[in-house]
Amino acid sequence: MGTIRLYVFWFFLAFTFQAYGQSDFLFKSSLQDIDLKIEEAKSLVGKDNERATNIISEIIELAKSVNDYSSLMEAYSLLGDLNANVGLNKIALSRYREALLYAGETVENAKKATIYLKLGNLNLEGKVQNAKTDYKSCMDLVVRTELYYLCYEGLAGALQKQDSLDSTMKILSELESYYYKRDSSDLSRIQAKKAIVASAQNRLDIAQLNYSNARANFDNRNNRIEDIKIINSAKELISISQNTIDDEIDFRETNISDYKEDDNTYQIEDQIQLANAYIKKGDLNNATRLITTAKGTVSDKVNVNTKSKVYKEASELSALRGDYEMALAEYQIYESTQQELLDSKQREVESKISLLESQKKIDIEANIYDSNQKLGRSESKLVDFQKYVIYLLTSLLLLSLLSALWIYRSLRSKRLSNKKLELKTLKAQMNPHFIFNALNSVNEYIATQDDVSANKYLSQFSRLMRKVLDVNQKDLIPISEELELTDLYLKLEHSRFRDQFDYNFNVDSFVMNQDVHVSPMLLQPYIENAIWHGLRYKISKGILNVNVNMKNDIIDIVIEDNGIGRKESLGRKTMHQREHKATGMKNTAKRMSIIEELYKTKYSIDISDAFSDQTDKGTRVHIKLFLDHG
């Protein structure tokens, strides 16, 4: 029987590992397939948008099946690229935002930052403040990387749109330093942007210097159209900012395009602009030369829009020269290019409609998938209902226990608060009695016109009161502070009853260094009782000894007097005095009890006759403070 069980166990274990292995293999295969499809879709954007859209649809379906949020983010980002590529900017913005919904903690920061950069570039055309926010989000994700500086450049563009030209120039100068000796085309683009900003600031000399640097640093091998556009924009702004038409012509002649492009678009546009400048000057010969050169440069590779501009300008120039036959022929060519432009626009519109239809299909499939997922989750919830009921009951039970614990702690906290309040009340009761006795002494000095003693006593009393008021707000004070307060009190009382007693106050120096805390004015009531109820009634001069020593883990305090003793003192008191004395001792004992309960300290107090075989039996108060080293 045991052998059969063992075989069943090993069979189950092997089956589990095999199933897990197959599942893991399928998962990894799906991820590899998704990665390949993403690369394929990227290569098709702008070339075959319909095919790219179909692949993206497949990516979304696969990624959702394996919960691959990183790939989902990339898929929706690619949809944004497709829409941006055909000018559907609002839809592109929506797709990029959808992409960010899948940007969890597992997705690389660089991928998220790239989407923020794309959002910023689109918002720059309309909602500039949103663009600033997007660029800053990008910069926060990829600090001091190449992508960071692209977003920083975008931020400069947003500031320029808001006419913060000084801030824009500052950022562009930082970027110029960064790209110096890194990438000449990037460097030339930044310098061209500096030229545009300087031109807007009417600093023509700085604009021309930056434009010259941009031309010098541009690398024709890269032939990046966007960089060329920016450089030509800078050139156009500087051209129209020249002081005279001759200055404009000289600048345009010097800086005519020489970029290595297949369609010669920018060179032709430069020739048209320069021809217009010559027409303004009245020099039709040079204008004709340039337009003729431009017409000769037009080929099948030149875009229709540029070709249209050339023949429109050529027709107008021929009319100015009086060659109306040529003007008509050129205008007819211009009209044919307009038809080509209309056809091109029609194709663009059809392409946009096709792309929107394809995306509609993606959205419908995504909604169906999400609905199925929700339905599956609903069925799962129904099956797990009993589990949730059990969890709920368990939670209620746990909540009840926690509530009971909270109530217990609240009551305990309230009890401790009441104890602390009681402790403060007891301390407050001590102070008036203490002050009353001291003021009576001052009154006696004044009555006897002993000003010197009254002043000296008041000085000592004020020192003591400062100490008492300082410690009065505390529940516990260091043993060293309590002993200092006791020493001041002894000196004060001795100055009043100098003829009735002497005292010795001996403290082991080791005690002063102990990290031990006690209740404030712990010793004072016992010393006061020794003086006022024992030594004051003694016929001969008495002695009061206060000894504080360290014995093992115990601080041993002995307050001993050779006064008349407790029994004799009690017999001499009126009923009111007896009640007052009893209340004072009970107050002290109660304080000790509360301190012991609140702060887990341990005290013991023993009061006995000091000299039971003598007439003046005296009193000995023995206090032990037990140190806790646990």
Q: 282: buried, middle or exposed (CB in 10 Å: 19+, 13-18, 0-12)? A: exposed
Instruction: Specify whether the CB–CB gap between 191 and 211 falls below 8 A.
Output: yes
Distance of CA 2 to the CA centre of its chain: 61
How many CA atoms lie within 13 Å of 490's alpha carbon, on the beta-carbon side?
Answer: 21
CATH T-level assignment (fold) for domain 453-626: Heat Shock Protein 90 (3.30.565)
Band the pLDDT of 383: cuts 50, 70, 90: low
Q: What are the pLDDT digits (tens) for 66-111?
A: 888 888 899 999 999 999 988 889 999 999 999 999 887 778 899 9
**Residue 521 Ramachandran class (φ > 0 left, ψ -120 to 50 alpha, else beta):** left
What local confidence, expressed as pLDDT, does residue 492 receive? 84
Of 25-34, 53-62, 114-123, the poorest mean pLDDT is in 25-34
What local confidence, expressed as pLDDT, does residue 15 receive? 44
Determine the 3-state secondary structure of 243 from DSSP. coil
**pTM: predicted TM-score of the whole model, two decimal places:** 0.55
Is the predicted pLDDT of residue 253 greater than 80, yes or no? Answer: yes
What local confidence, expressed as pLDDT, does residue 354 receive? 81
Read off the pLDDT of each residue in 619-628 and give the average, rounded to a whole number. Answer: 86
List the domain boundaries for the chain: 453-626
Band the pLDDT of 17: cuts 50, 70, 90: very low
Task: Give 270's contacts (C-beta < 8 A, 6+ positions apart).
Answer: 232, 235, 252, 255, 256, 257
Q: What are the pLDDT digits (tens) for 144-167?
A: 888 999 999 999 999 999 999 999
Assigned token pair, 421: 């309040």
Q: What are the pLDDT digits (tens) for 543-594?
A: 999 999 988 888 899 999 998 888 888 777 655 455 555 555 666 667 667 7
522-528-531-537 Cα dihedral, nearest 10 degrees: -140
What local confidence, expressed as pLDDT, does residue 462 receive? 79
Mean pLDDT score of the chain: 81
Is the predicted pLDDT of residue 404 greater than 90, yes or no? Answer: no
Band the pLDDT of 416: cuts 50, 70, 90: low
Portion of the chain with pLDDT greater than 90, in percent:
28
Query: Which candidate, 438, 428, 422, places its Cα nearest to that of 472?
Result: 428
